Structures are given as C-alpha cells and as structure tokens.
Structure 1
C-alpha cells in the first residue's frame, strides 16, 4: 500500500502548486473600519482566450483513510476552491504523474488556488456540506487533463 500522511496547509509549503487563500497577514481596513481586506491573495490565470467564471460545487464528503488513483490538471487556467463552510478539506498535489503525491489538510478557514498546469486530486471535503465557490477558466476548450495511477495511493490520518 502506498501511503501519504497529510501536512498542514501553509503558504510556504504550497507555493510551488498554488496560493493559500486565508485571512492572515497584511490587510487594509475598509467599510469605515468594519472589515479587513486581505488584498490580492491569488494569481488567477485564465489564459488569452478564457474568462473568469464562478461556479458552486457540492461534493460528497470523504473520510480518512482516503484511497485515490486519479489526478488532473488544467492547462488553460488556474482553479480556486473557496469553502463555503468552516470544514477542513484535503488537498492533493503532485509535481507530475511520476512523482509521489503530496497531501495537505486545510484548517477549515483556508481556500486554495491551483496554478495552471498543477496536477491535483479531486475536490475532497472531509465533512458536510462539501460546498465550495470555485473560480476558474470558462472558455471553448475543456481545460482538463486526467491521469490514473496504476496502483492507488492512500492518504492516512495526520
């Protein structure tokens, strides 16, 4: 069995795959001081012929240990997942299909933005409701490549 233990999601550990979306660090006050704006948290990339789209995903929750054999990437644009509840979710990424995948566990108050071309696992909430706002490329091409491992990987509890 090929095992992976998830690490906590941090901006530094996730930087080569994308951006961590959270309300930490520098901010500016807006709305007469009633709101902190954590500005420009992600590098969104929709390619020369795409546009930004906002979708809502509702995914069934999974549990650890979690076995997977599918990863995917989006060659034409970035993809951001913003949870609509404060529930942790699992983030799986890989440098390429031949590399060992890496797993991260969000803290329930983080979203992520995958850079264009980043190999990643499917949306993996660990609790109900599994509801996410997703910002990604809308365009004429399918913007999806999939890869299946011949032997699955299993993410175990941290």
Structure 2
C-alpha cells in the first residue's frame, strides 16, 4: 500500500496538531528592533506532568520509506523542532475507535517543525538527511505515555512523481 507524501501545510495538518514555522510577519518586534517574535505557534497540552526539552539524534531514513508502526502519547503533546534546515517526513493517522486509520504522509519545508496533539497517532521521527538532530518538547512525568500500533501490512511512503 503506497502513501504519497504531500507538502506539509497548516490546514492539512490541523486535525493532528500544529505546524511550527515563521509567519509572514512577526507578531511583535523585540530586542531593540532586531528580532521578530512569532508568538505561541503550538498548543502544548499536557496531563499529569510538565513540559521538558530533549535533544533527539535520529538516523536518517531513505525513500521509499517502509511504515510499519505508529505511536501516540495520550498524556501529552509532542513538538519536533529540526535543528537543521533539512526537510523531514511526518506521518500521522486519524484515530478510529482507539486504533489508527489510514495514515497520511507529509514532507516538511526547510525550517518547519510540528507539534502533535495529545493522543494523535504519528510515525516515528523520520529525518531524510544527516544530521537528524531535533529539539523535542514533550511531557515529562510519571506513568505510561506511549501506545504503539503495528500495521498488519506495511505502507510504502513515496514522494510525488
């Protein structure tokens, strides 16, 4: 089963979370007029914990990409902020009665990040170029906050022709 990765846009990604990217103009200019602040770009919804910042160093993947599994975090949103200008693959799936539905794949533009909503099914971190270095903001706290689902048949993620 093939999934064709679409360009990541805020409207297409909205059911699953927020796209983190510069707006056309900043909300405010600060630091003596030398810095544009693009304010409050993602909803960090946490239950029973606190926000933490971690660094992830993921090995690059190649296309076509074999999607075998998705996961979700029922107690907290999870934001991925690339620390390079390279695009990466984002995979999400709608929730259908507690199980993931048919996945969707997106390719970010340079300097875009994402924030998955609390409980949104998503693929693992999938950089396409080295280094796969990301700042991740997610829930730090007690209790299980990870559910995984393996598909009976894997999907193949490709770019459009």
Q: Same fold (TM over 0.5)?
A: yes
Matched, 1:118 2:117: no
* C-alpha contact 2:6 2:159 (8 A) present in aligned 1: no
Alpha-carbon distance, 1:104 to partner = 0.5
User: What stretches of structure 1 move > 6 A for 4+ residues in a row?
Assistant: none
Aligned to 1:12: 11
Alpha-carbon distance, 1:157 to partner = 1.7
- Give the unaligned 5+ runs of structure 1: none
Alpha-carbon distance, 1:142 to partner = 2.5
Aligned to 1:128: 130
137, 140, 156: which one aligns with 2:139 = 137
Query: What is the rounded CA distance, in whole Å, between the counterparts of 1:127 and 1:78 in structure 2?
Result: 25
User: What's the Cα RMSD here?
Assistant: 0.9
* Equivalenced residues, count: 156
Aligned to 2:32: 32
Aligned to 1:107: 109
Alpha-carbon distance, 1:98 to partner = 4.8
Q: TM-score, normalised by structure 2?
A: 0.94
Matched, 1:76 2:68: no
